Amino acid sequence: MRFDVVTLFPELFGPHLAHGVTRRAFERAVDVRLWQLRDFGDEPHRRVDDRPYGGGPGMVLLAEPLLRALEAIRSDRGAAAPLVHFTPTGRRIDQAVVQAFADGPGAILLCGRYEGIDQRFVDRHVDVELSLGDFVLSGGELPALALLDAVARLQPGVLGDQASHEQDSFSDGLLDCPHYSRPETLALSPREGEDAGAEAGLARVPAVLLSGDHARIARWRRERSLELTWRRRPDLIAAAEASGALSKADLRFLASLQL
């Protein structure tokens, strides 16, 4: 799998690709090549932007340097790959989008800057426009990194335990359940912990998680996941129901929440 990233700020990518659980994926499975757009700029100053026709604030990324960059990447890559442009006007990235890229051969990722890029380049060459969310960033580098990270962690062998991304939010259409670790009883402030008998100010791990009863634990986690999704993202519950992903026990539990 290969991703070619066109950006004015390739240095923003290095630290992320070299650290964390995804590092191995970027070393072995997900080949990321960075292309400095300025290398394809108009001489004599390798210019890549200019003022917008019609006036108004800001600058626009010029189509010609983008065309030269794309030609160089396509001839280097050989095989066809979709061209992705990051823009707030694009389709919102979700886990289904990430999974589609994780299952594919990679892509060319185009990071915009300034007011955006010349629309004629978009109309002629861009295959898909993606947004990170309903807010405006100063460039497409963070959305590109977000997509690369999410794709990398789905590669086999990247996460220590393969089940861990299968339990993550969205992989089964629901939000994840809450997680707990040591100690079993947490003093919410150090002073309250001094009085071993005091119950106020102590937070306990839900008893079911200490029971050793795996079926009960699995049901408890499923219900917490259903409850959180129902409260925060009813749209996801509706989609899960429509796709038949909810069991009879799930539906009974959801009905009990509405009483």
Ligand X SMILES: C[S@@+](CC[C@H](N)C(=O)[O-])C[C@H]1O[C@@H](n2cnc3c(N)ncnc32)[C@H](O)[C@@H]1O
| Interface contacts to ligand X, rule CB under 6 A | 86-89, 111-113, 115-116, 131-133, 135-140, 143
Taking the least distance from each CB to ligand X, the nearer of 125 and 224 is 125
Smallest distance from ligand X to CB 90, Å: 6
Is 88 designated active site? yes
Taking the least distance from each CB to ligand X, the nearer of 50 and 195 is 50
Q: Is 133 marked as a binding-site residue?
A: yes
Is 113 designated active site? no
Smallest distance from ligand X to CB 146, Å: 9
CA separation for the pair 95, 172 (Å, rounded) = 10
Q: Is 135 marked as a binding-site residue?
A: yes
Is 241 designated active site? no
Q: Which of 65, 149, 153, 250 is catalytic?
A: 153
Taking the least distance from each CB to ligand X, the nearer of 89 and 164 is 89
Is 115 designated active site? yes
Residue 66's Cβ-side half-sphere holds a number of Cα atoms within 13 Å equal to 26
Q: Is 112 marked as a binding-site residue?
A: yes
Q: CA quadruple 156, 163, 96, 61: dihedral positive or negative?
A: negative
CA separation for the pair 96, 115 (Å, rounded) = 28
- Closest Cα to residue 86, out of 109, 62, 120? 109
Exposed/middle/buried for residue 22 (C-beta within 10 Å: 0-12, 13-18, 19+) = buried
Is residue 224 a contact partner of residue 167, using CB atoms and an 8 Å limit? no
Q: Is 116 marked as a binding-site residue?
A: no
> Which amino acids are annotated catalytic?
88, 115, 153, 168
